[in-house]
């Protein structure tokens, strides 16, 4: 538009007149959209002005504020004038125009720029942001002044917040606003910021577009759409996974016992896992998802296993206590005459016992403490009567085929044989136990005794299997508990040759429970009676130690055997 034409305009309320204004009185208007310009363009124009002077038809457009002409159109010419060192320049002063009209006119002048250099779109974004933030214009006002749609204003305000690096790609002409429109479609929730912020996502896509363009010579909008679509896919999946996790769950630190509970936050951990893996693909997002799900499931499973193990341990401990009680409950304190009546009929496979011999025995060995007293019932007549009475009561308790092994001295062997035959048993012979040291005996008038007899009798026709010699060479027991204590290593082969695992043995004169101990070690059941409270206490303590040592074990249970009459005796507490 020529100066003459402008001067002839008669817009109501508006006036434009041409003046020659001092260059020093000029300043850029805040409404000038072009904020950046190429120095080479300014230099070229300055040289032209020096040669040809300033073209009157290209007067600067300005508004007069006080003594300052605010140039809103012709900013590049203004910079060239300063460089050309002119003192005055023609200025078309606009009066009565609104700020909105000035903003519109500045864009009109930029479109008619003599170099046909469009205003950088980055400057356009910045101007929209300035109008919105500083001038406090709403979107409608900006859209009206700039002659664009309301959504475009909103979109360009968003683009103005892009990282400087992306803006530089646009300024350099590598990327266009259309490219950025595709990139800016990405949406990322705030909770993903530690993994991938919207700015970071757009920057990475922009950098990829730039790289592809440099490598392949072009980066079409369509190709960029494919990249963005791929990103949207795995970002959407990440959002779905995030939403599927609980905000927090309770896991347990199994390094302590009991395990210490702690709060685990799957959503937060998922985001951190994405960041650790720098997830930029659907497969990597899924790997991060799997890692967190495994962490939760493994943690819960480990705690469940811990509880199950604890429950199992508790059950084993109960089972152990019950088994120990069962293994030791067959040893009872009391008179054999009375206690035998509690044993079930036809349940006993073997009687293995060391009754009072009728020797009125008292140990002559040296003891570190007081020597034990005489064995109860060990007078001759008393002992034989006791043996006959007890074995008479035992007969109904024996199975159809059963063994009886009775320790005795050579002097009392005939008496013991007679008693066993009298009550209906068949005497098969006697075994010899050869000791590793002799007894005292008559130290002057007899040979040193080193053996004891074991009378063998049977009911029915039981087998001896495995068959062993009738002479057994086994060292004495230490006899720390009982003066006539029999070694377990002597009793075990006798038991194994006359019974099978699970069979019931009875020892009516159990002493300190040597037979019970041998039965436990050979996985047999045993009932033993001991009259002396002292020896019973020693024997019970011995069995408890043995049972605790060997349990848990696969010992046969006495349940259902009926060894205590028709019902199994309750487990002792």
pLDDT tens-digit series, residues 471-485: 999 998 877 777 788
**Residue 69 φ/ψ region, left for φ over 0, alpha for ψ in the -120 to 50 degree band, beta for the rest:** beta
In-domain check, residue 416:
yes
Give the residue from 121, 141, 171 where a domain finishes.
171
What is the domain extent for residue 363? 330-550
CATH code of the domain containing 350: 3.40.50.150
Q: Is residue 336 part of a domain?
A: yes
Q: What is the strand order of the sheet 398-408 is part of?
A: 331-333, 525-530, 504-507, 348-353, 398-408, 451-459, 426-434, 471-473
The pLDDT score that the predictor gives to residue 557 is 52
Helices 266-277 and 221-244 pack at an angle, to 10 degrees, of: 150
Residues facing residue 427 across a β-bridge: 457
Q: In whole angstroms, give the CA distance from residue 539 to residue 195.
A: 72
Asked which of 16-25, 259-268, 302-311, 365-374 is least confident by mean pLDDT, the reply is: 365-374
Does residue 561 register a pLDDT over 50? Answer: no
pLDDT at 558: 52
Average pLDDT, the chain: 86
Whether pLDDT at 46 is above 60: yes
Q: Are 478 and 487 in contact (CB under 8 A)?
A: no
**What is the band of 82 on the pLDDT scale with cuts at 50, 70, 90?**
very high
With respect to residue 243, please indicate whether it lies within any of the assigned structural domains. Answer: no
Mean pLDDT of 218-224: 75
**pLDDT at res. 567:** 39
For the segment 290-341, what is each residue's pLDDT rounded down to a tens digit?
Answer: 999 999 999 999 999 999 988 887 777 777 777 777 778 899 999 999 999 9
Q: How confident is the model at residue 490 (pLDDT cuts 50, 70, 90)?
A: very high
Domain end position, chosen among 151, 171, 191? 171
Residue 473 near residue 434 (C-beta atoms within 8 A):
yes
Q: Cβ contacts of residue 386 below 8 Å, gap of 6+?
A: 355, 356, 377
- pLDDT bucket at 570, cuts 50 / 70 / 90: very low
User: How far apart are the C-alpha atoms of 143 and 140, rounded to whole Å?
Assistant: 5
Is residue 323 included in any domain, yes or no?
Answer: no
Domain boundary (155, 171, 187) is at 171
What pLDDT score does 113 carry?
A: 57
- CB neighbourhood size of 66 (10 A): 7
| Confidence at residue 443, expressed as pLDDT on a 0 to 100 scale | 65
- For residue 404, being part of any structural domain is answered with yes
Task: Answer whether residue 431 is part of any domain.
Answer: yes
In a domain, 512, yes or no: yes
**pLDDT at position 180 over 90:** no
Highest mean pLDDT among 205-219, 267-281, 481-495: 267-281
Confidence (pLDDT) at 5: 37
pLDDT class of 179 with cuts at 50, 70, 90:
confident
Highest mean pLDDT pick, 184-193, 325-334, 419-428:
419-428
pLDDT greater at residue 359 or residue 525: 525
In whole angstroms, what is the distance from residue 437 CA to residue 306 CA? Answer: 56
So what's the pLDDT on residue 95? Answer: 95
**Mean local confidence (pLDDT), 335-360:** 89
Question: What is residue 23's predicted lDDT score, i.e. its pLDDT?
Answer: 96
Average pLDDT over residues 460-464: 97
The pLDDT value given to residue 442? 66
- Residues with Cβ < 8 Å from 121, sequence gap 6 or more? 170, 176, 177
* Exposure b/e, 157-188, CB count within 10 A at least 16 = b: bebbebeeebbebbeeeebebebbebbbeeeb
Residues 361-385 have pLDDT tens digits of: 444 444 444 545 555 555 678 889 9
Residue 526 lies in a domain: yes
Asked if residues 249 and 296 have their Cβ atoms less than 8 Å apart, the reply is yes
- Tens-digit pLDDT profile for residues 519-546: 999 999 999 999 999 999 999 999 998 8
CB burial readout 536-573, b (16+ within 10 A) else e: bebbbebbeebbeeebeeebeebeeebbbeeebeeeee
Give the lowest-confidence range in 101-110, 403-412, 457-466, 554-563: 554-563
**Is residue 202 within 8 Å of residue 166, measured between CB atoms?**
yes
pLDDT(496) > 90 = yes
| φ and ψ of 223, to 5 deg | -65, -40
Average pLDDT over residues 209-232: 82
Question: What is the predicted pLDDT for the residue at 559?
Answer: 46
Q: How many domains does the chain have?
A: 2
């Amino acid at each position: 538009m020529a100066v003459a034409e402008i001067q002839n305009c008669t817009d109501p309320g508006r006036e434009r007149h041409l003046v020659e204004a001092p260059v020093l009185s000029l300043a850029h208007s805040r409404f000038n959209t072009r904020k950046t310009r190429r120095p080479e363009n300014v230099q070229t124009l300055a040289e032209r002005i020096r040669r040809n002077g300033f073209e009157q038809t290209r007067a600067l457009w300005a508004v007069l504020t006080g003594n300052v002409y605010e140039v809103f159109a012709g900013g590049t010419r203004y910079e060239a004038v300063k460089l050309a060192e002119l003192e005055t320049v023609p200025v078309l002063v606009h009066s009565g125009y609104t700020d909105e009209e000035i903003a519109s006119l500045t864009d009109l002048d930029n479109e008619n720029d003599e170099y046909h250099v469009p205003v950088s779109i980055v400057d356009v974004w910045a101007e929209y942001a300035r109008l919105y933030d500083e001038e406090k214009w709403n979107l409608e006002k900006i859209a009206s002044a700039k002659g664009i749609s309301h959504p475009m204003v909103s979109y360009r305000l968003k683009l103005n917040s892009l990282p400087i690096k992306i803006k530089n790609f646009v300024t350099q002409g590598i990327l266009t606003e259309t490219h950025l429109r595709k990139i800016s479609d990405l949406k990322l929730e705030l909770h993903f910021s530690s993994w991938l912020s919207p700015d970071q996502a757009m920057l990475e896509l922009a950098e990829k577009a730039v790289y592809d363009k440099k490598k392949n010579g072009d980066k079409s909008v369509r190709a960029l759409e494919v990249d963005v679509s791929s990103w949207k896919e795995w970002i959407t999946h990440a959002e779905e996974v995030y939403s599927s996790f609980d905000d927090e769950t309770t896991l347990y630190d199994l390094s302590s016992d009991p395990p210490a509970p702690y709060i685990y936050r799957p959503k937060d951990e998922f985001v951190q896992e994405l960041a650790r893996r720098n997830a930029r693909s659907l497969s990597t997002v899924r790997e991060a998802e799997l890692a967190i799900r495994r962490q939760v499931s493994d943690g819960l499973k480990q705690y469940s296993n811990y509880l199950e193990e604890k429950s199992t341990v508790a059950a084993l401990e109960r089972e152990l206590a019950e088994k120990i009680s069962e293994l030791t409950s067959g040893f009872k304190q009391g008179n054999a005459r009375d206690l035998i009546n509690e044993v079930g009929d036809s349940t006993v496979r073997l009687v293995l016992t060391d009754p009072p011999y009728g020797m009125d025995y008292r140990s002559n060995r040296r003891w570190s403490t007081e020597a034990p007293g005489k064995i109860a019932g060990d007078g001759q007549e008393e002992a034989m009567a006791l043996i006959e009475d007890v074995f008479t009561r035992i007969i109904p308790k024996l199975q159809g085929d059963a063994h009886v092994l009775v320790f005795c001295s050579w002097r009392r062997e005939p008496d013991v044989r007679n008693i066993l035959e009298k009550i209906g048993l068949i005497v098969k012979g006697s075994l010899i136990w050869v000791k590793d040291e002799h007894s005292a005996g008559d130290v002057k008038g007899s040979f040193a005794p080193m053996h004891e007899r074991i009378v063998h009798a049977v009911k029915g026709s039981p087998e001896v299997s495995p068959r062993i010699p009738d002479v057994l060479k086994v060292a004495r027991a230490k006899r720390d508990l009982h003066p006539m204590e029999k070694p377990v290593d002597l009793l075990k082969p006798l038991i194994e040759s006359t019974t099978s695992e699970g069979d019931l043995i009875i020892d009516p004169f159990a002493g300190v429970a040597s037979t019970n101990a041998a039965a436990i070690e050979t996985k047999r059941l045993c009932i033993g009676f001991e009259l002396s409270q002292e020896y019973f206490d020693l024997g019970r303590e011995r069995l408890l130690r043995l049972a605790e040592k060997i349990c848990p074990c696969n010992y046969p249970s006495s349940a259902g055997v009926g060894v205590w009459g028709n019902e199994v005796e309750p487990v002792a507490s």
